[in-house]
């Protein structure tokens, strides 16, 4: 029997064939097909959704309503909104986060494209050493180095600037590998044709590679956007100027250690702060998956 090479991630077309193998079975008409799957998924979605759903309810409630465990929208949405937006200016933190997340995402994509191009379409001395140099950084989580990184970034005079939140994160081993894998799987005829046309490497990148790499770019963009948006410990260390602080720091001002835990504004802030990354992730879901599928081929 001939077996195909199994790759970790899907060619989606196969999914529809699954139904063929189900033995026909009697079921009452009112039951949807695979009713058990629907029930389990319903339960799973409900359980996964409950924390956020409850947080949204609490976001509209006053403290007394929270302790009364009312599963209805409360009466304090306007008050909570006033605290979150007018007093604590959560939106200014969010604007900073959007800027940083977009800058890192864009910069990282460009640098990763360039290094992917260099690794796949060039032969140069010491390629394996350079590749190893990049490879090893996969095992160096920034979190471990933050104390030293903090000192170094300060010594550059970048403390409490956007530069400190952007530049150290522009290079990415993950991104480099993603594009290197992706480019390696592109038929060689493409680059040969481009060379025959006399295209420069940059022209080739922009006119040929980028248009067929949108899924990979999308996948990387999702990861990076979510990663940067959710960055916590590094901004807490490096960003001391309130006007440049990011959303995860802004949330901390809603918690207030000394102040009583007032859950309404806290939850409203948490919900608002989660909208952009969730939106990006859900909207780019398809790109995310297919980008990875290509990356994990071979």
Partner 1 sequence: MFAKRLIALVVLAALLLALVPVAAQSPVDVKMWIAFTDNRLDWAQQKAAYFNTVFPQYNVTVEGYANYEELFNATALASEQGALPAIVQYFEVASQNALDSGYFKPIADALGDRTEVNGLAVNLDDFIGPVAAYYTIDGKFNSMPWNASSAIMFSNMNILKAAGVDTPPATWADVEATCEMVMAMDGAPEFCFTWPNHGWFFEQWLAQQNAVYANNDNGRADRATEVAFNNAAGVALLTWLRDMKDKGYLYYSGAQGGDSWATVDQAFQSQQTAMAVYSSSDTAIYTDTGRQNGYEVVASFMPYNQDAEGGWTGNLIGGASLWLVDGLSTEVEDGALTWLTWLNNTENAAEWHQITGYLPIRLSSVDLLNTDGWYDAIAANGPSQVWMDLQIVQDAQGSNWFEGNPNFRVAADQLAGSQQTAATAGALLGNFPGIRNIVTQAIDTMLLTDGADAQAILDAAVAEANVTLEEYNALNAE
Partner 2 sequence: MASTPLLITLATTLIGAGLIAYVFRNLGYNVLLGGVLGGVAGALGTLFFMLPVNFCMFAPDPEARYTIELADQIFGLIMIVLGLLMTLWPLRWWAIWWSRRNDPQYATQQVQQGLFKSRFLPFVFLAPTLIILALFLYYPSLDTFRLSTLLARLDSQRTAFVCVDNFTRLVNDTGYFGVVGTTLMISLAIVAIGLVLSLLIATMAYQPLKGARIYRTLLIWPYAISPAVAGIIFLLLFNPTGGIMNYFLNGLFGIKIGWLNDPAAAPWAVIVASVWKSMGFNVLFYIAGLQNVPKDLQEAAAIDGANAIQRFRHVVIPLLSPITFFLVITNITYAFFDTFGTIDYLTGGGPVGSTTTLMYQVYELGIVNKDLGKAAAQSIILFAMVIGLTIVQFRTQGRRVNYGA
Q: Which residues bind partner 1 (CB under 8 A)?
A: 63-64, 67, 87-88, 150-151, 154, 159-160, 237-238, 240-242, 252-261
3 state SS of 49: helix
Shortest Å distance, C-beta 244 to partner 2: 18
Which partner, partner 2, partner 1, none, binds residue 253 by CB below 5 to 8 Å per kind? partner 1
Shortest Å distance, C-beta 255 to partner 1: 6
End-to-end CA distance of the chain: 21
Shortest Å distance, C-beta 170 to partner 1: 21
Which partner, partner 2, partner 1, none, binds residue 258 by CB below 5 to 8 Å per kind? partner 1
Beta carbons within 8 Å of 232's beta carbon, 6+ residues apart? 248
Shortest Å distance, C-beta 83 to partner 1: 10
C-alpha torsion sign, points 173, 175, 180, 185:
positive
Q: 107 vs 159, which CB is nearer to partner 1?
A: 159
Which partner, partner 2, partner 1, none, binds residue 188 by CB below 5 to 8 Å per kind? partner 2
Q: 58 vs 226, which CB is nearer to partner 1?
A: 58
Which partner, partner 2, partner 1, none, binds residue 19 by CB below 5 to 8 Å per kind? partner 2
Neighbour tally for 236: CB within 10 Å:
15
Degrees to nearest 5, angle at CA 234 with 233 and 238: 125
3 state SS of 71: coil
Shortest Å distance, C-beta 234 to partner 1: 12
Which partner, partner 2, partner 1, none, binds residue 160 by CB below 5 to 8 Å per kind? partner 1
Rounded-to-10 torsion of CA 238, 242, 243, 246: 60
Instruction: Give dist(CA 250, CA 90) in Å, integer.
Output: 6
Instruction: Give dist(CA 95, CA 49) in Å, integer.
Output: 27
- DSSP code for 6: P
Give Cα separations from 82 to 60, 70, 88, 195 (angstroms).
12, 22, 9, 61
Q: 194 vs 244, which CB is nearer to partner 2?
A: 194
Q: 87 vs 285, which CB is nearer to partner 1?
A: 87
Provide the phi-psi class of 157: left if phi over 0, else alpha when psi is between -120 and 50, else beta: left
Which partner, partner 1, partner 2, none, binds residue 159 by CB below 5 to 8 Å per kind? partner 1
Shortest Å distance, C-beta 279 to partner 2: 8
């Amino acid at each position: 029997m001939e077996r195909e090479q199994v790759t970790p991630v899907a060619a989606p077309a196969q999914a529809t064939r699954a139904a063929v193998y189900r033995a026909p079975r009697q079921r009452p008409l009112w039951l949807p097909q695979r009713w058990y799957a629907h029930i389990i998924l319903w339960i799973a979605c409900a359980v996964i959704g409950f924390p956020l759903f409850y947080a949204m309810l609490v976001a509209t409630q006053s403290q007394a309503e929270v302790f009364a465990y009312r599963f209805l929208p409360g009466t304090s949405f306007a008050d909570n909104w006033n605290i979150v937006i007018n007093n604590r200016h959560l939106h200014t933190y969010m604007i900073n986060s959007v800027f940083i997340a977009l800058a890192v995402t864009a910069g990282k994509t460009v640098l990763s494209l360039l290094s992917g191009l260099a690794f796949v379409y060039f032969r140069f001395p010491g390629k394996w050493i350079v590749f190893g140099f990049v490879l090893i950084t996969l095992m160096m989580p920034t979190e471990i180095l933050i104390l030293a990184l903090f000192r170094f970034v300060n010594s550059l005079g970048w403390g409490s600037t956007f530069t400190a939140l952007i530049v150290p994160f522009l290079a990415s081993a993950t991104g480099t590998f993603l594009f290197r894998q992706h480019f390696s799987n592109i038929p060689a005829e493409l680059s040969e044709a481009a060379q025959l046309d006399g295209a420069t490497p940059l022209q080739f990148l922009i006119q040929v590679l980028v248009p067929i790499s949108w899924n990979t770019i999308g996948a990387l963009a999702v990861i990076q956007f979510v990663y940067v948006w959710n960055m916590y410990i590094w901004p807490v260390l490096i960003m001391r100027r309130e006007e440049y602080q990011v959303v995860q720091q802004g949330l901390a001002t809603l918690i207030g250690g000394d102040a009583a835990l007032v859950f309404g504004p806290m939850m409203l802030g948490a919900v608002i702060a989660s909208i952009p990354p969730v939106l990006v992730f859900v909207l780019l879901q398809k790109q995310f998956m297919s980008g990875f599928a290509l990356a994990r081929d071979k």
